[in-house]
Structure 1
Amino acid sequence: MDRRHLTILTGASRGLGRAMAEQLLGPQRLLLTIERRPDPALAALAAQRGAQLEQWSQDLSEPLEAAQRLAHWLGELSPAAIASATLINNAAVLPHIGPLQSCPADELSRAVRVGLEAAMHLTATFLRTSDRWVAEYGWDGPRRVLNISSGLGRYPMAGQAAYCAVKAGLDHFSRCTALDEARRPNGARIVSLAPGVIDTDMQEQMRAGDPAGFPDKGRFLQLHAQGLLTPAHEAARRVLAWLDRPDFGDPCVADVRHA
């Protein structure tokens, strides 16, 4: 039986997520993408490369629903057909830029649900199911969870309370989960990785912010003007290379720029 490397990727519709999805496609991989809408171009590329791709249109602001769907899907897989299992929590939402009290309640809630709550539920589901593979089938493939964090999770910025809090939450939940997994036989390895400053739609939102509520707007305008934003395809290459490191998981909280 041919064994495939299973990768689950959230937020694959654009930017870094789309670039990672494209680079992950290959004949030895089973790739599940969870995004707002399926991408016909990605499906065509998968067929061209002989890759097994499944795309879900799933609203991650309903994290319990997403986790239940993932649990059912993983439960239908044969562990004997899986060489390794990786979850990449990449999905994020940038809510209104400005002081916390100016952020609409629905945007604030969506940012936390998509960026942090969904990541925690999906990680719990991924670990729970793969734990069962280990216990019931003696599966011994490597398990990895990669959370896409941000420098803003480690450095405070005015006008970014919600986004900074979500990314800080990713970092700390990764640290705690890594401690739990280190105590288990064949435990998963966990990393929360800042991917650098990337040329994405989110950067455009930053540059369009109102300086009255976002005093650091000039910094983002300068990064763009000086050509210091990393193209999404290059950022994706660096992030995926991190997954292949023999020391993946040490450190648990990392930055691609500190490789």
Structure 2
Amino acid sequence: MGKVNMGRVSNKVAIVTGAAAGLGAAIATMLAREGARVVLTDLDQKRGSLVADQIVGAGGEAMFLEHEVSDERRWLEVVDKTLGQFGKLDVLVNNAGVQFVKRISDTTLEDWRRLFQVNVEGVFLGTRTAMSAMRQNGSGSIINLSSTMDRVVSVNDAAYCASKAAVTHFTKAAALDGATDGNRIRVNSIHPGLIETPMVEREILDLARLRGDVNTDAVRAKWDALCPLGMGKPEDIAYGALYLASDESKLVTGSELVIDGGHLLKR
């Protein structure tokens, strides 16, 4: 991470969930590099604190909070601590998510509920809580991480696909809500394709095991071929979040920002 400068989100305050690794860490780091004061949240306190320390070490402002995104009370505490530390909330990135690779017949009700608690209820709770804080200033940007899997389905990912479809549609309804009563609270979704993150690496490993492969080469090659531009990096998604967090996107709400290397072109 380079030195902090007066960048595209200077003086903004952002919360990024699931920020201990992968997309969340990349987004939090980029927002800080571009001048935002960032609150990183995650269940992984050790890795989340490390990312926050790296941001501070590079001259940025950041703090880490342990956070279960399906806990309604914890959301209130996270936003209250953000307001107490930085005085306002301009940006929320609902990035935290979970995934598993299972056929429907192997998916338990507990599996289904846990995935929806994090991927959908977490987004709802975060959006609702952030909107309440953002209405104090009448503006803000909420960025929900959906996926190309909201429309590209897989026999092994039914629950995940359903959860991301819910996030996409909820985002549009929330965008209407954020624009009422004279407010300019923008709500948009980002739709990553196949991105090299720890979550995707785990899915590749799980799929290889289901196929009986001793290594992941075949699955990885197939996935890379699904995208005309190949698999992406976390920074590719972070640039999209930076745009939606900045005032450059002040007229953008209810939109779906697809960053997928052409994945949807081959569905």
TM-score (norm 2): 0.78
Q: Name the structure 2 match of 1:246.
A: 249
Q: 1:129 aligns with which of 128, 133, 136?
A: 133
| Change in 2 beyond 3 A, CA 1:114/1:255 | same
- Measure, in 2, the Cα distance between the counterparts of 1:57 and 1:43: 12
Query: How many Å apart are 1:129 and its aligned residue?
Result: 2.1
> CA, structure 1 residues 111+221, in 2 after alignment: closer, same or farther (shift >3 Å)?
farther
Q: Say yes or no: does 1:63 pair with 2:71.
A: yes
- Deviation digits for residues 92-117 of structure 1 (CA, Å, limit 9, x no counterpart): 1002x122231233332221111110
1:111 equivalent in alignment to 2:115: yes
Which residue is 1:20 aligned to? 27
Same amino acid, percent of matched pairs: 21
Unmatched 5+ residue regions in structure 1? 134-138, 213-217
> Which structure 2 residue ranges, 5 or more long, are not aligned?
1-9, 213-217, 263-267
**Distance 1:229-1:36 versus aligned 2 partners, 3 A rule:** same
The CA deviation at 1:222 is 1.2
User: 1:30-69 to 2 correspondence within 5 Å?
Assistant: 30-38=37-45, 39-60=48-69, 62-69=70-77
1:117 alignment partner, SS class: helix
- How far the C-alpha of 1:78 sits from its partner, in A, is 6.8
**Match in the other structure for 1:100:** 104
Asked if 1:236 is matched to 2:241, the reply is no
- Per-residue deviation, 1:197: 1.7
CA distance in 2, matches of 1:168, 1:145: 17
Whether the 8 Å CA contact 2:99–2:160 is kept in 1: the answer is: yes
Following the alignment from structure 1 to structure 2, what is the Cα–Cα distance between the partners of residues 219 and 184? Answer: 50
Counterpart AA for 2:53: A
Question: Shift of residue 10 of structure 1?
Answer: 0.5
Q: Tell me the alpha carbon deviations over residues 127-182 of structure 1, each in whole angstroms, 9 at most, x when there is no partner.
A: 11222x1xxxxx35x40000011011122221211101111111011111112222
Give the match for residue 91 of structure 2.
Answer: 86
Q: CA separation of 1:29/1:211 partners in 2, compared to 1, >3 Å: closer, same or farther?
A: same
Q: Distance in 2 between matches of 1:77 and 1:239?
A: 23
Large movers: runs of 4+ above 4 Å: 218-221
